[in-house]
Amino acid sequence: MAEREAAGELTNLPTETRVWPIQNYLEYFQKSIRDIEAFWSQIGHELVWNRLWDQVLEWKPPFARWFVGGLVNASYNAVDRHMSTWRKNKAAYLWEGEAGDRRTVTYGELFREVNRFAAGLRKLGVKQGDRIALYMPMIPELPIAMLASSRIGAIFTVVFSGFSVGALASRIQDSEARVVVTADLGFRRGKSINLKEIVDEAVQTTPSVEHVVVFRRAGGEIPMRQGRDIWWQDLVKDASNFVAPEPLEANHPLYILYTSGTTGRPKGAVHSTGGYLTYVYATQKWVFDVKDEDVYWCTADIGWVTGHSYIVFGPLMHGVTSVMYEGVLDYPAPDHWWQIVERYGVTVLYTTPTAIRTLMKFGDELPRQHDLSSFRLLGTVGEPINPAAWEWYYRVIGQERCPIVDTWWQTETGGILISPAPNLGLPLLKPGSATYPLPGIDADVLNEAGATTAPGEKGYLVIRKPWPGMFMTLYKDPDRYRQVYWEKFPGLYYAGDYAVRDRDGYFWLLGRADEVLKVAGHRLGTIEIEDALVSHPAVAEAAVAGRPDTIKGEAIVAFVTLRQGHNSSSALVEALKQHVRKEIGPIATPEEIHFVSSLPKTRSGKIMRRVVKAVASNRDIGDITTLEDEASVEEVKQAFSEFKSA
Ligand code: ATP
Ligand code: MG
């Protein structure tokens, strides 16, 4: 792009990525949202289609259909398209197991295994439109199963392998899957988990399931039910090496994925094929600026949307080499991630604020002991990143060389919506801001009455026009789809998040709109208070909630975990209160501060403030099937009740 070349001398960040004058970006952006159909049509052409579409967009609010009449196949675009190129023997995945085992899977191998498993699924009678549930550890067979499913037009639903029987069963029931694919073994912190046993229990309550396919990792015998259960290895033994990819209408569902349940009962987001792939393809390029020589590592679990879009479809469509790691971040050692980075020369890292805060807790020494000079770009997703964590990521991990892309998006949006876009030119970064919406994304911040807020004024984040990555509906529940996302501001997508735009037009995401406290007539985001707490050197993480208070409306209750080398004391409680008072103001001073060793989080690492809030206000804690660690809830309860009886 000529404009980018010309912009080469403008550098406001020390990075290899050039800074595009933001004016140019904004012009490009304005053009994109003026005519979204022309814009997305052009990008849609970068995919391989069996037949081009008749109509770019059919918009019958709140239902959008993109690339109507176009025929496309996801596995073809992710794998087959590389078979006639030099990438055929390029690594698609550099895989590491928690136990230290390693595997390299090339695009050619991926192609063969996807075809064989697709043939296997056909043998089991799986047809276009059937649902299959994937309850698998982070091994290459998980993307293989997703791609095989998409090859024959089946609809997959990935269930995070850390979920227990109840969470698995409810997702199979809701999706009415005919086949469940699992493995005999998964690992978590050195403990082996018999996944098949969990499946056996779950399928007792799921009449739709006809077959259970089990990938064999261990040598031992496990009970297999005759006629229903089959080993993956046996299924593919004599399978054909080629299954023609089915040309599917662009709006054929590619997958169903249940949201993480931070705020309540999980919702089954249904994603399309053509629109979704187009969107993921574009954002993978804009945000991560991927190049053939990159070693790209998205640390998410494929059980979450981040893994679907940015471990599987995005990187594969671009022919990128990805690191795929089975384990958790601090096992077997707290510097395990940095060992992996050093071993493969990782250039792009995409992770979560919760991971960054955990790594921060271990101190600066560990990353300093490793060679992290291969990094060129760092990303985060999942929660607002507090400026303290952003600075640490930038300074210690990126060594002040690498831009940070703070990417805002949701399961429902299919891909990143608000983020810096290094491939299009970087704006000046501000720690804690996701900067600007990506091209084609008409984002706005509205007040309760539906008017655009003034700069600096908090409001609700909405998207005014549909985009191709947008989910099509909630599975079997179009009413809930309409009601949750489209009724608050009719015709606009309501994200459920609080945001503010500053005078430069930068977006700051302030957490969920329902996580707002009303203290003595003021509205305070829990995130603001948490940020203030975490900016104190003793604090690693914080969760803030309100409890009903007869005088103030709500009183602020904070639960915090401490960084290594700090201990709880009443002097520290006082110091933290003073600190918040100084950072935000007296109105934000927590009434109570409790120290705990861990906070209640979802399996995807997000703090479940609703649990904290329920404890603080003595209410039932509700659905916690997606909770990471029940002990943390007990600890929060205990800390709270000890305080009350003291
Ligand atoms: P549920 O909808 O079931 O309560 P969830 O919203 O946690 O679950 P996801 O779709 O995985 O499930 O998460 C999307 C949410 O994560 C966003 O709505 C937002 O609150 C938060 N989020 C994601 N990325 C960012 C970011 N970069 N900055 C701030 N918040 C973010
Ligand atoms: Mg959500």
Average pLDDT value over all residues in the chain: 91
DSSP code at position 386: P
Residue 59 token pair: 């918009």
* 3 pLDDT tier (thresholds 50, 70, 90): very low
Quote the pLDDT of residue 174. 93
* Helix H or strand E segment including 169: helix 165-175
Angstrom distance (rounded) from CA 455 to CA 117: 53
Quote the pLDDT of residue 505. 92
Angstrom distance (rounded) from CA 257 to CA 171: 9
Report the nearest atom of ligand 1 relative to the CA of 306.
Answer: 11
Ligand closest to the CA atom of residue 606: 1
Q: Could you tell me if 126 and 132 are in contact, meaning their C-beta atoms sit under 8 angstroms apart?
A: yes
Residue 554 DSSP SS3: strand
The CATH number of domain 12-439 is 2.130.10.10: no
Model confidence pLDDT, tens digit, residues 572-627: 999 999 999 888 888 889 999 999 998 988 887 888 888 888 888 888 877 777 77
Quote the pLDDT of residue 582. 86
Q: Ligand 1: distance of its center to the CA of 130 in Å?
A: 29
Cβ of residue 382 lying under 6 Å from some atom of ligand 1: yes
Residue 573 DSSP SS3: helix
Cβ of residue 309 lying under 6 Å from some atom of ligand 1: no
Angstrom distance (rounded) from CA 290 to CA 421: 11
* 206 pLDDT tier (thresholds 50, 70, 90): very high
Ligand closest to the CA atom of residue 409: 1
**Rounded mean pLDDT, 554-581:** 93
**Rounded mean pLDDT, 212-241:** 95
Cβ of residue 383 lying under 6 Å from some atom of ligand 1: yes
> What counts of helices (H) and strands (E) characterise the chain?
21, 31
**Rounded mean pLDDT, 141-163:** 96
More confident residue, 555 or 276: 276
Cβ of residue 206 lying under 6 Å from some atom of ligand 1: no
Q: Which long-range contacts (C-beta less than 8 Å, at least 24 apart) are formed by 595-598?
A: 595/559, 595/560, 595/561, 595/562, 595/568, 595/639, 596/559, 596/560, 596/561, 596/632, 596/635, 596/636, 596/639, 597/561, 597/635, 598/561, 598/629, 598/631, 598/632, 598/635
Q: What beta strand segments (E) does 91-146 contain?
A: 91-96, 102-106, 131-134
Report the nearest atom of ligand 1 relative to the CA of 266.
Answer: 3
Q: Ligand 1: distance of its center to the CA of 382 in Å?
A: 5
**Rounded mean pLDDT, 81-96:** 98
Exposed (0-12), middle (13-18) or buried (19+): which is 485, by Cβ within 10 Å?
A: buried
More confident residue, 54 or 221: 54
**Rounded mean pLDDT, 341-355:** 96
- Count of Cβ atoms closer than 10 Å to residue 34 Cβ: 10
Residue 412 token pair: 């429902």
- pTM of the complete model beyond 0.85: yes
Q: With 60 as the cut, is the pLDDT of residue 200 above it?
A: yes
Q: With 50 as the cut, is the pLDDT of residue 219 above it?
A: yes
Q: With 70 as the cut, is the pLDDT of residue 483 above it?
A: yes
Cβ of residue 497 lying under 6 Å from some atom of ligand 1: yes
* 646 pLDDT tier (thresholds 50, 70, 90): low
Cβ of residue 261 lying under 6 Å from some atom of ligand 1: yes
Cβ of residue 410 lying under 6 Å from some atom of ligand 1: yes
Q: Which of 70-74, 507-511, 514-518, 536-540 has the lowest mean pLDDT?
A: 514-518
Ligand closest to the CA atom of residue 510: 1
Model confidence pLDDT, tens digit, residues 294-340: 999 999 999 999 999 999 999 999 999 999 999 888 888 999 999 99
Residue 601 token pair: 């989080």
DSSP string, 587-608: GG--SEEEE-S---BBTTS-B-
Q: Ligand 1: distance of its center to the CA of 591 in Å?
A: 28
Q: Ligand 1: distance of its center to the CA of 94 in Å?
A: 28
**Rounded mean pLDDT, 69-94:** 98
Quote the pLDDT of residue 100. 87
Quote the pLDDT of residue 263. 66
**Ion ligand 2 nearby residues (CB, 5 A):** 259
Cβ of residue 396 lying under 6 Å from some atom of ligand 1: no
Cβ of residue 608 lying under 6 Å from some atom of ligand 1: no
Q: With 80 as the cut, is the pLDDT of residue 20 above it?
A: no
Residue 546 DSSP SS3: strand
Q: Could you tell me if 565 and 559 are in contact, meaning their C-beta atoms sit under 8 angstroms apart?
A: no
Quote the pLDDT of residue 515. 78
Q: With 80 as the cut, is the pLDDT of residue 12 above it?
A: no
Angstrom distance (rounded) from CA 358 to CA 334: 9
Q: Which of 17-31, 353-367, 379-393, 524-538 has the lowest mean pLDDT?
A: 17-31
Cβ of residue 182 lying under 6 Å from some atom of ligand 1: no
Burial per residue of 442-476, b for 16 or more beta-carbon CB atoms within 10 angstroms, e otherwise = bbbbbeeeeeebeeeebbbbbbebbbbbbbbbbbe
Reported CATH class of domain 515-645: alpha beta
**Rounded mean pLDDT, 530-550:** 90
Report the nearest atom of ligand 1 relative to the CA of 406.
Answer: 27
**Rounded mean pLDDT, 405-416:** 97
**Rounded mean pLDDT, 29-55:** 98
Q: Ligand 1: distance of its center to the CA of 414 in Å?
A: 12
**Rounded mean pLDDT, 86-98:** 97
Sign of CA pseudo-dihedral 121, 207, 167, 481: positive
Q: What is the percent of the chain where pLDDT is above 90? A: 74
Q: With 90 as the cut, is the pLDDT of residue 199 above it?
A: yes
Q: Which of 262, 419, 458 for a ligand 1 pocket mutation test, highest count of atoms within 8 Å of Cβ?
A: 262
* Helix H or strand E segment including 344: helix 336-344
Report the nearest atom of ligand 1 relative to the CA of 304.
Answer: 11
* 26 pLDDT tier (thresholds 50, 70, 90): confident
Q: With 50 as the cut, is the pLDDT of residue 5 above it?
A: no
Q: Ligand 1: distance of its center to the CA of 104 in Å?
A: 32
Q: With 50 as the cut, is the pLDDT of residue 8 above it?
A: no
Model confidence pLDDT, tens digit, residues 367-390: 999 999 999 999 999 999 988 899
Q: Could you tell me if 243 and 151 are in contact, meaning their C-beta atoms sit under 8 angstroms apart?
A: yes
The residue extents of the domains of the chain are 12-439, 515-645
Q: With 70 as the cut, is the pLDDT of residue 2 above it?
A: no
